[in-house]
Amino acid sequence: MTKRQDLEALCVEHKVSSHAAKGPLFLEFKDDVILATDYKAESYPPVNFRNKAGFFGGNWNKASQLTPKDVYLTEVVKEEVRPLGKLITASYSFFDEYIAVIPPAAHGNPAQQERVFINPVTLFVASIDGYAALEALKCERENLHAALSASTDFKASAIFPLSQIRNGMLASSPQFIWGDDRMLADVLAERYDLHAGKNYEFAMLPNIDVHRLDGTQGIIPLSAFKSRWTVRYQMKNPLAQGDQTDKAVFEKNPPAK
């Protein structure tokens, strides 16, 4: 477990890029469970994350978003996958707090070639009934991917059946961004008894560090942003500067030293 003083030193040096609230979405069928995620397009600023999967959710960018729950419910339920909003709201649960450290070698953003992204993450997990999801999306199972993509704000998604994960679906090449692969491995182990290296192979993007937090690191799970020690280091802080946009996170900034 990484000590708080070491994590805080990283925040002091590089500043916090954004606080995220996000997580995997699982559609549970009688014969399988399907992991559903967002999918980043060719225009995504971090070049190395294009055409790869990432959890549904978003970044804290409005002062009115008091807690990570506010961010998660706004981004996932009201914006990203609206047809599944009621199902997700009724089933999602808190998983844990993390800090992801993403250096230039990992993200490849040409506008920020020296920027280390420090991202505190509140991770939620939503597990919903697959048949209810099909009804909400007005589709059949064979059309699930297309219907899910059509329902999202950027019209793109990815799906990963757990049966195919067991058969090596994630073994050949890294498919997840922002350290979501490390967090996903924790969720699969604890919620679905799938253990990377034991039940399946998992190729992860290199050069990314993900630190799972506990009480010794000063973050109380689900606590308000205003009470978090990480917020004072956020480069574009809604509490101090007013509402921001996600685009602002990726704009060219001088490296914070």
Which one, of 206, 184, 205, lies nearest residue 196 by Cα?
A: 184
Reduce the DSSP state of residue 40 to 3 states and report it. coil
Instruction: Provide the H-helix boundaries in the chain.
Output: 4-14, 68-72, 85-91, 104-107, 130-137, 144-151, 162-166, 180-192, 238-241, 246-250
Which residue, chain included where needed, has tokens 């793109």? 156
Question: Tokens 């979501």 belong to which residue?
Answer: 180
Q: What is the pLDDT of residue 29?
A: 98
Class of residue 203 by CB neighbours under 10 A (exposed 0-12, middle 13-18, buried 19+): middle
Alpha carbon separation from 164 to 34, 35, 170, 177, 241 (Å, rounded)? 9, 11, 8, 20, 45
Residues 104, 6: Cα–Cα separation, whole Å? 20
Element (H, E) at 38: strand 33-39
Report the amino acid identity of residue 131. Y
Q: Is the dihedral of CA 102, 104, 110, 115 positive or negative?
A: positive
Class of domain 4-248: alpha beta
Stated as kind and residue range, the H or E segment containing 129 is strand 117-129
Average pLDDT, 10 consecutive residues per value, the chain (257 residues): 90 96 98 97 93 96 95 88 95 96 95 93 98 98 96 92 98 97 98 97 97 85 94 92 81 56
User: How is the chain split into domains, by residue range?
Assistant: 4-248
Provide the 3-class DSSP secondary structure of residue 41: coil
